[in-house]
C-alpha cells in the first residue's frame, strides 16, 4: 500500500523515517496510547480504518488488536501543524493498553489536581 503523495509531502519524519501517532477514544475523549508510524503504517490505517503502527523493537507493522482482539476502528485522522504527529480518533474494542487498563496513562499519576 502506498501513501497518497500529497499527504507524504506534508509529513515530517525523524531520522528513522517515523512520526508520532496519538490515539484518542471517540466516545470518551480519553487519550488511549501513543505509538510510532511510518508512511506505510499510515497508508494502511487510512485504507483499512484499523489502527496500524510500526514497532521499533520488533521492526514490523502491527495492527492494534490483531492478537488481543482489542481492535481500533479509525473514524478520523488529523495531521498537526508541523507535520510530525498524527491524531487518530478511534472506537476502541476492550482495553487499549497491553497491561489491561483502559488507557496507557491510567496507572502512573505524576501530578494530581490541586484540591
Q: Which residues belong to the annotated binding site for Zn(2+)?
A: 81, 97, 104
- E strand segments, 7-71: 19-25, 31-37, 52-55, 60-63
Size of the site for a copy of itself (CB under 8 A): 42
**Residues 94 to 113 in contact with a copy of itself, rule: CB under 8 A:** 97-99, 101, 104-113
Phi–psi pair at 101, nearest 5 degrees = -80, 160
Contact 34, 64 (CB under 8 A): no
CA distance linking residue 35 with residue 13, whole number of Å: 14
Which member of 17, 66, 68, 80 binds a copy of itself (CB under 8 A)?
A: 80
CB-nearer residue toward a copy of itself: 29 or 69: 29
Q: How far is CA 51 from the centre of its chain?
A: 6
Binding site for a copy of itself (CB under 8 A): 7, 10, 20, 22, 24, 28-31, 33-34, 42, 45-46, 49, 74-82, 85-87, 97-99, 101, 104-114
Amino acid at each position: 500500500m502506498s501513501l497518497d503523495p500529497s499527504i507524504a509531502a506534508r509529513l515530517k519524519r525523524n531520522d528513522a523515517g517515523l512520526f508520532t501517532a496519538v490515539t484518542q477514544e471517540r466516545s470518551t475523549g480519553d487519550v488511549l496510547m501513543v505509538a510510532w508510524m511510518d508512511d506505510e503504517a499510515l497508508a494502511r490505517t487510512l485504507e483499512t480504518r484499523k489502527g496500524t503502527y510500526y514497532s521499533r523493537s520488533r521492526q514490523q507493522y502491527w495492527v492494534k488488536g490483531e492478537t488481543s482482539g482489542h481492535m481500533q476502528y479509525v473514524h478520523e485522522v488529523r495531521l498537526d501543524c508541523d507535520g510530525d504527529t498524527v491524531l487518530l480518533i478511534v472506537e476502541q474494542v476492550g482495553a487499549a493498553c497491553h497491561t489491561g487498563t483502559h488507557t496507557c496513562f491510567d496507572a502512573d499519576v505524576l501530578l494530581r489536581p490541586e484540591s
